[in-house]
Amino acid sequence: MLDRYVRPIIDPPLNAVALRLARTGVTANRVTGVGFILGLISFIFLAMQTYGLAFLFIALSRLADGLDGPLARVRHATDLGGFYDIVSDFVFYSGVVFFFAVGRPEVALPAAALIFAFVGTGSSFLAYGIFAAKCELSDDARGKKSFAYLGGITEGTESIGVLLAICLWPDAFEGIAWTFAVLCWLTTVGRVLQARQAFGGDL
């Protein structure tokens, strides 16, 4: 929901940094890999309940994720790079929730509910992208991507905010998880309805 408003603010500095990195020979796939490794490190701190360091590595991981796209466009994006980016993102988001629950097993149920909701948003995101590419649909409002996709109540900005919030207020995890899970399912339902309108067909 917020991505279309945040992108115009963060894209110029990200693009500037990407241009500098491109001149040094750094590739987008390497930045994706670094971001993923930073995410893996955050998992360790989440399991240890060291939430300050978890916050730091989650933020650094998402910074790298924000840089790999502009860098890929400067150095000519590849389908393999888009694949790496999507897979690492989905593992990262579910991994943060899972490893928070590793550190606090008493919140396993809301953590599972949130990961379950991520399946809905993730599958609708990917399914729409596949068929939008087939129909040659595109939308650059949230920045140029490897393929077109629908927005929703819960997009990247909101998801990152939630992951950082559970590090700042770990005792509020249960409420945050249940609330965001509901919003994720509303997003999934909305995407299904929008896909029906975009692609046509009967119920």
Q: Which residues contact 25 (CB under 8 A, 6 or more apart)?
A: none
Query: Would you state the structure tokens that stand for residue 79, as one six-digit string?
Result: 């389908």
Q: What integer is the mean pLDDT of 130-155?
A: 62
Structural domains of the chain, count: 1
Q: Which residue has the higher pLDDT, 61 or 25?
A: 61
- The pLDDT of residue 9 is above 80: yes
pLDDT of residue 141: 46
Q: What percent of the chain has pLDDT over 70?
A: 88
Q: How far is CA 64 from CA 19, 35, 124, 181, 194, in A?
A: 14, 5, 25, 26, 31
Q: What percent of the chain has pLDDT over 90?
A: 52
Q: How far is CA 92 from CA 41, 123, 133, in A?
A: 11, 15, 25
Confidence band of 176 (pLDDT split at 50, 70, 90):
very high
- The pLDDT of residue 199 is above 80: no
Which CATH number covers residue 189? 1.20.120.1760
Total residue count of the chain as it appears in this document: 203
Q: What integer is the mean pLDDT of 132-141?
A: 65
Q: What integer is the mean pLDDT of 10-20?
A: 85
Using an 8 Å Cβ cutoff, are 3 and 157 in contact? Answer: yes
Q: What is the mean pLDDT of the chain?
A: 87
Q: Which of 4-18, 20-34, 166-180, 189-203 has the lowest mean pLDDT?
A: 189-203
Instruction: Return d(Cα 80, Cα 197) in angstroms, integer.
Output: 30
pLDDT of residue 149: 45
What digits encode the pLDDT tens for the residues 31-50?
999 999 999 999 999 999 99
What digits encode the pLDDT tens for the residues 86-104?
999 999 999 999 999 999 9
pLDDT of residue 177: 97
pLDDT of residue 138: 59
Q: How far is CA 197 from CA 120, 150, 193, in A?
A: 19, 12, 6
Domain that holds residue 116: 3-199
